[in-house]
Amino acid sequence: MFGPIRARRTFEAVVSEIAEAIRTGQLRRGDRLPSERLLAEQMEVSRPTLREAIGVLAKAGLVEVRPGSNGGTFVLSESVPSALVEAIDSRLASIPAVLEARRALEPAIAALAARNGDDSDFAEMERIVELQRRAVDDWARVTQLDTRFHLQLARATKNPVLVAMMSTLSRQLEIARATRVDRSISSDAAIAVNEETLGAIRSRDQRVIDGAMDKHLRLLEDAWADAAG
């Protein structure tokens, strides 16, 4: 049920993910959550982070932690408090702005990377794509490498300010990925669009770069539009 929480947003992302599962009926009253060890592995967060999130959910009356050999974390209520609903809705509402910011920033980064990048920059991007190919059946690994690909694209600009901006934007994009958008994008499509982007950058042809970046950005934009209904 639960996938990796790859953004570095501490316990808040975990709270939102579990509360959303309860709100949408994926988890019902009386259901037992996976063990702490398994849930931490599924979400790829530390166990202390998970405990902090469970504590917030317990305080809100959504779950109950029962001790003992037959214990665990159980859903106590299917009514998500309005404060948590507002936090989830606010998180979702920010996604269009994040995608808009990406649309404004990344094409400019790509153009500058084509102008300032060198063979070592492009070789590193190619290496990342090859690692994605090897991990094609591991979606979590593919998306982690995708973040690395975009950061390497920014590094090719030789502009540390743009690298910092891309790093911040990458973390923001994890919000979209945490809303099950990823499930509508295949690993093959994600890898192919990176390959096409790299080829366009290497060509240093602005028209080719513009076309490749539009296709690249639309992959997530279209997936989010479909998920948002």
3-state secondary structure of 35: coil
Helix and strand numbers, DSSP H then E, in the chain = 10, 2
Q: How much is the pLDDT for 177?
A: 61
Domain 11-89 has CATH 1.10.10.10: yes
Q: How much is the pLDDT for 215?
A: 97
Report the C-alpha gap between 220 and 216 in whole angstroms: 8
200 near 208, Cβ under 8 Å?
A: yes
Matching fold, domains 11-89 and 94-228: no
Positive or negative torsion for Cα 139, 143, 145, 146: positive
Q: How much is the pLDDT for 23?
A: 78
Superfamily covering domain 94-228: GntR ligand-binding domain-like (1.20.120.530)
99 near 221, Cβ under 8 Å?
A: yes
Side-chain-side CA neighbours of residue 206 (13 Å): 4
Q: How much is the pLDDT for 91?
A: 65
Would you kindly state where each structural domain of the chain is located, as residue ranges?
11-89, 94-228
Q: How much is the pLDDT for 182?
A: 53
Side-chain-side CA neighbours of residue 157 (13 Å): 20
Q: How much is the pLDDT for 75?
A: 95
**Radius of gyration for the alpha carbons in the chain, expressed in angstroms and rounded:** 20
Give the mean pLDDT per block of 10 residues along the chain (229 residues): 56 81 85 93 84 90 91 91 70 81 96 98 97 88 87 97 91 63 77 97 97 95 77
Q: How much is the pLDDT for 87?
A: 66
Q: How much is the pLDDT for 157?
A: 98
Which amino acid, one-letter code, is at 31?
A: D
Report the C-alpha gap between 170 and 217 in whole angstroms: 13
Q: How much is the pLDDT for 119?
A: 96
Which amino acid, one-letter code, is at 89?
A: D
Report the C-alpha gap between 72 and 88 in whole angstroms: 25
